[in-house]
Amino acid sequence: MSQQRTGPTDGPDFPDLPEATVARLPEYLRALHHLAEEGHDTVSSEGLAAAAGVNSAKLRKDLSHLGRTGTRGVGYDVTLLIDQIEQVLGLTHRRAVALVGVGNLGHALAGYAGFGSRGFRIAALFDADHGRVGEHINGLVVRHIDDLPEVVDEESISIAVIATPAHAAQNVADRLVAAGVTSVLNFAPCVLNVPEGVDVRKVDLAIELQILSFHEHRKSALTALPGRAGQDLQRADRLGAEAVGS
Amino acid sequence: MSQQRTGPTDGPDFPDLPEATVARLPEYLRALHHLAEEGHDTVSSEGLAAAAGVNSAKLRKDLSHLGRTGTRGVGYDVTLLIDQIEQVLGLTHRRAVALVGVGNLGHALAGYAGFGSRGFRIAALFDADHGRVGEHINGLVVRHIDDLPEVVDEESISIAVIATPAHAAQNVADRLVAAGVTSVLNFAPCVLNVPEGVDVRKVDLAIELQILSFHEHRKSALTALPGRAGQDLQRADRLGAEAVGS
DNA sequence: GTCTGTGAACCGCTTCACAGCC
DNA sequence: GGCTGTGAAGCGGTTCACAGAC
């Protein structure tokens, strides 16, 4: 092979991380920034794990995939670890993001400060409704979705957020992909069909509530019973987090 | 034991589902409603799996946990399966939900129609800012967070959504739990510390984008290389969904 | 023949427990 | 002595492949 698969050993190059680890790195990053603000220079796996809501063995294994990051007997250097994680996540430059659909939810997302402070810049807003085109939101002008190809190209956008109604989402996704977008965050409650090489993540608010509903349902079923069965409740919560008082 | 752990065999009682299955049932439910609207009476595991963006073996195994649900040689009865899943998820009655924090995002969530149509009713809005208390949003009046215990009790609320800034979230969670809430959907970018028996799910928009950023970073690292390494791109997308044109 | 339900193999992730370095 | 990095064991979930009901 012309280029070896870069192992986890050498520094700034590209390790091949387990998907579960990738999903947790952003949480570690957030916790680390919080620790840095509080003036910590260094943190133990135990401390960082608590701040991120995971157990310390998992954290250590996750970080071990990044190469040598900590110091035995001491812990992790906070700012160094922040740099390493941002490096791996590709957050060394601020990525431009397009947002499609400026209805109820899209409006809120367009104004969400958390994007700006955590590596992203909302670079363009789109809507299919001519009545909304031209509206100013948070310093940006809403453009018509027909302008997608042009703007995606100008702003070098590779990530887009879909906040349209479900019935419009597939069409929007198709147009985004055609324009060159290769990652999509989908808030519409539907499955998107995209070609290979395009990543889709989905956030469905009602689904989250329905999952909670299941657990509520179970809890009330169990507590309704006396005795032995009630004790199962102690097994019932899977998500009781420890950690970080703000 | 005084009460046997109810197996997956008998109908309306309470099966003990794998967490991964629970997380997918809502997606099946959404797909089924869509199929029902289109007039389908019955659907094969293949068809439903496609509409929900999973593979058919997984779907069949998931549904097998609910007891006998399909008919061999035929498929699944759409309306029957909807009933069974809603039963299991505890969606037979519309659950009251409290929403805390009516800023940017909270405002949008308060107006989100998807909650209403999928088993939930936003029963109360809260904010700590006296300037916002009294405001009308979508037919509801914003109340002060001090009224939490009273309202949670009156409306029999067991699920709450936190849409406050991160620094306020832990305090809000504590108050919610004290008021009797046992499930929380947290939009604030922080870890919540809650007692055993309380479930927390977290949605962090910036984290979703950061995960996508990682994949973008990897894709560009790979496509920058010619030859062998570029072929790995075909392994790179984990989420290319098939299915359901709307 | 068709399509579901399911044991068995497989795989990835988590957890344990400790060796190795500070 | 303290804390990280990591093989090994354990566990849950996914996939395979086919038996069995229609």
Q: Which domains does chain A have, with CATH numbers?
A: 19-89 (1.10.10.10), 95-205 (3.40.50.720)
Q: Strand C closer than 7 Å to the CB of A239?
A: no
**Average pLDDT for residues B77-92, to the nearest whole number?**
97
**Which chain A residues are closer than 8 Å to B218 by Cβ?**
14, 90
The minimum CA-CA distance between B237 and chain A, rounded to whole Å, is 5
**Average pLDDT for residues A20-39, to the nearest whole number?**
98
* B77-B80-B83-B89 Cα dihedral, nearest 10 degrees: -50
User: What are B160-204's pLDDT values in tens digits?
Assistant: 999 999 999 999 999 999 999 999 999 999 999 999 999 999 999
* Contact at CB, B208 and A201, closer than 8 angstroms: yes
* Contact at CB, B169 and A246, closer than 8 angstroms: yes
Portion 69-108 of B in contact with A at CB < 8 A? 88-91, 95, 97, 104-105, 107-108
DSSP state for residue A101 in the 8-state scheme: -
User: What are B59-75's pLDDT values in tens digits?
Assistant: 999 999 999 899 999 99
Contacts of A15 (CB under 8 A, 6+ apart): A6, A7, A8, A65, A66, A67, A88
The protein side of the strand D contact, defined by CB less than 7 Å from any of its atoms, consists of: A 43-46, 56-57, 60-61, 63-64, 68-76; B 18-21, 54-55, 57-58, 60-61, 71-74
**Euclidean distance between CA atoms A198 and A170, whole angstroms:** 14
**Euclidean distance between CA atoms A45 and B162, whole angstroms:** 28
List C-alpha distances in Å: B108 to A108, A140, B111, B195: 6, 19, 5, 29
**Average pLDDT for residues A119-128, to the nearest whole number?**
97
User: What are A176-230's pLDDT values in tens digits?
Assistant: 999 999 999 999 999 999 999 999 999 999 999 999 999 999 999 877 655 544 4
Residue B131 near chain A (CB below 8 Å): no
- Among residues B137, B141, B112, B133, the alpha carbon closest in space to that of A108 is found at B112
